[in-house]
Structure 1
Amino acid sequence: MSDVEILAAFLARRAHYDVYLQANDIPLYTCPGCGFPTLAERGSFDICDICSWEDDGQDDHANSILDELLVAGMKISGPNGHLSLTENRINIGRILETNAELINGEIDFDTARVLRAIAFYQQRKEEIEDRMTGDEYPHDHIWMEWKEVKKDLQMTLVVPRL
């Protein structure tokens, strides 16, 4: 897929989940970085469990400004470093595309199943965090286990083609 196709897929995914959340009065928001329903509120610096985007409130309305500055050679650093929202969307799109290719699959659009998967992996992450003491080093097993939860969730969001 080209970058344009990945960004179009992001927009379709986000619109799909936004409509479902609103129609079913579910108090979640879609992540501006991946389009999946992972945020309890917007702009509160929560980190998405799927794409690791830290939600500082930036969205489509602000993305074009950052991209224009990047084109002009100016880099702005924020909670997501120098990574722009567009770059993050393309990165997670490539990860999902690769996962889909591994199983000859596609991104799951069964919203109820996706919401259950996200909740399950958030619970797994919390259980790991409960076992942490704060004295662990980044290369310790428990941190590796914690990081694997995101990869497992990303893989779960892809289902075999029917």
Structure 2
Amino acid sequence: MTDDEILAAFKERRTTYDTYLQANEIQLCTCPGCGFPSLTDRGEFEICIICFWEDDGQDDHADSILSGLFEELQLSGPNQGLSLIENRINIGRILESNADMINGEIDLNTARVLETIAFYQLRRMDIEGRMTGEESAQDHIWLEWQEVRKDLQTALVVPKLPE
């Protein structure tokens, strides 16, 4: 997929989930970084469990405003200088790669995706409950915690249905 196709797929995915959340009065928000319904609120610096984007309230217009006003400055927000568009393309490539491995597609079944995200959030909370705060970055529990995101990214891809 091209970058433009990945960004179009992001927009479609986010619209699908936003519509479902609103129609079913579900108090979740779609992540501006990946488009999945993974945030409890917008602009509260919550970190997405799927794409690891820290939501500082930026959205579609942020990249163009920043690049136009501050071209010469090296700005770094909570996302370590990664732009929202770059994040969308990165996560899109990861999801497409996962889909290619199983001849699958990104899951757009909203109810199933919500259940999947909830399952992995509980898994991560379980790991966090076993942490003492004294672990090093190389400790097995941190590696296990990081694997949750990779496992979730894989679980968001489903086999294509036969035509």
The two structures have a TM-score, normalised by structure 2, of 0.96
Aligned-pair CA distance for 1:89:
0.3
Specify the SS of the correspondent of 2:38. strand
Quick one: distance in 2 between partners of 1:69 and 1:124? 42
> Please, what is the CA RMSD of the aligned residues?
1.1
Instruction: Determine what percentage of the aligned residue pairs are the same residue.
Output: 68
> Which amino acid letter does the alignment assign opposite residue 51 of structure 2?
C
Quick one: distance in 1 between partners of 2:101 and 2:73? 38
Q: 1:11 and 1:76, CA in 2 relative to 1: closer, same or farther beyond 3 A? A: same
Count of matched residue positions in the alignment of Structure 1 and Structure 2: 161
The two structures have a TM-score, normalised by structure 1, of 0.96
Specify the SS of the correspondent of 1:106. strand
Alignment match, 1:107 = 106
After the TM superposition, which residues 34-49 of structure 1 pair with which residues of structure 2 at under 5 Å, given as runs?
34-49=34-49
Alignment check: 8 A CA contact 1:44 1:55 kept? yes
Alignment match, 2:30 = 30
Aligned-pair CA distance for 1:68:
3.2
Aligned-pair CA distance for 1:91:
0.3
Alignment check: 8 A CA contact 1:39 1:48 kept? yes
1:150 aligns with 2:149: yes
Aligned-pair CA distance for 1:73:
4.1
Specify the SS of the correspondent of 2:74. coil
Which segment drifts farther, 72-81 or 90-99? 72-81
Quick one: distance in 2 between partners of 1:152 and 1:73? 38
Quick one: distance in 2 between partners of 1:134 and 1:148? 18
Alignment match, 2:20 = 20
What are structure 1's unaligned runs of at least 5 residues? none
4+ aligned runs moved over 6 Å, structure 1: none
Quick one: distance in 2 between partners of 1:83 and 1:61? 15
Alignment match, 1:128 = 127
Q: 1:66 and 1:140, CA in 2 relative to 1: closer, same or farther beyond 3 A? A: same
Alignment check: 8 A CA contact 1:66 1:84 kept? no
Aligned-pair CA distance for 1:60:
1.1
Quick one: distance in 1 between partners of 2:120 and 2:93? 21
What are structure 2's unaligned runs of at least 5 residues? none
1:90 aligns with 2:89: yes
Q: 1:69 and 1:82, CA in 2 relative to 1: closer, same or farther beyond 3 A? A: farther
Aligned-pair CA distance for 1:110:
0.5
Q: 1:103 and 1:69, CA in 2 relative to 1: closer, same or farther beyond 3 A? A: farther
Specify the SS of the correspondent of 2:8. helix
> Which amino acid letter does the alignment assign opposite residue 40 of structure 2?
A
Quick one: distance in 2 between partners of 1:37 and 1:66? 26
Alignment match, 2:59 = 59
